[in-house]
Structure 1
């Protein structure tokens, strides 16, 4: 079995089942449990560990933990509620999810979500700034 980088994902190829798997999707579908991923791939945890270390440079549990937080961030950026993200990613308690998110990103999920709402990239475009400065110079309010 080999793990290869394909576009922006990791693929398990030459597996014992003869199938290729997207590791990110497989890990999510198996609730980020190493034993469940091994069962799906038809290999032992020891072999999976060796393959991960050889091809990715991280143990499977570490990689899955990191991948879980990447998925969490994407879901929060997409507007999902913190409680829903925690549940979807298999956390038994929102507090555990919050603590893990903070450990990885240095910011709580709540603060992360609030910071995303404050920043409006559409208002940062050059066209928007030029239009609003033009209106102000002509005596118009932005609300008009």
Structure 2
């Protein structure tokens, strides 16, 4: 089966779309945006902030900014799905309009749900935003109607963070110095625990290993530099990847496309 993964700017500023048909297994990663999607064909199993989740045809799939997740097909011929990725600033604006209250805390999205009405609304919004025309009244109205059904019914409030002080110190270092080389021994020394305990505790509390977390931070930095029009080789060196080929592999493992294709589609 030929893999097809394509990202596009949408007709509404602050949202981009993605269409995929793939048997690829995605490594654990996260996005900076809110994601709302639909499984069109096949089924997948994924790790999420709420545990392991299976999703099949017609199911809505969702992810919150910074939420670690992955994805693997449950059938040999893969699965097909569509996604809307919404910038947090736009999400906040739309959610506040719906709540008629500024700076109100926003509920988080569940990773999977079955809702025939929501599915129909998603299909309508995706069709409107997938075109080349500038978004008009119909697209804005459809997006608000989608969120007005989604948030009150299918949101949840996040529990207090269970991240320990030791793991918080390691995460802070990786956040502050993602372009620098790091060793597991040095991170364990910073945390004041053994290397094995660091690996286990970091993965339990944050959903991924220290190495995967660092790769995700570098990928996020790379996307920002690519948006500025920087050459890909310069981007790879600036964010800490060994070379451009290394950056290519990380993009493919987590986003399913190369940096070049990503830049041409969204930057």
Q: So what's the TM-score if we normalise by structure 1?
A: 0.54
CA distance in 1, matches of 2:170, 2:183: 19
| Count of aligned pairs | 109
Q: What residue in structure 2 maps to residue 14 of structure 1?
A: 165
Report matched runs for 1:1-144 at 5 Å.
14-15=165-166, 22-26=172-176, 28=178, 30-31=180-181, 33-117=183-267
Structure with the greater alpha carbon radius of gyration: 1
1:38–1:74 Cα change, 3 Å: farther
Q: Which runs of 4+ in 1 moved over 3 A?
A: 32-36, 39-43
CA distance in 1, matches of 2:200, 2:230: 36
Deviations 1:92-119 (A, max 9, x none): 22122123212321221112222234xx
Which one scores higher on RCO, CA 8 angstroms, separation ≥ 6? 2
Deviation for aligned residue 1:50: 2.3
Q: So what's the TM-score if we normalise by structure 2?
A: 0.33
1:34–1:67 Cα change, 3 Å: farther
Q: Larger helix proportion, structure 1 or 2?
A: 1
Q: CA RMSD of the aligned region, Å?
A: 3.5
Unaligned ranges ≥5, structure 2: 1-64, 67-160
Deviation for aligned residue 1:21: 5.9
CA distance in 2, matches of 1:52, 1:21: 9
CA distance in 1, matches of 2:230, 2:193: 35
CA distance in 2, matches of 1:42, 1:26: 19
Equivalent position SS for 2:266: helix
**Is the 1:49–1:59 Cα contact (8 Å) retained in structure 2?**
yes
Unaligned ranges ≥5, structure 1: 1-6, 118-144
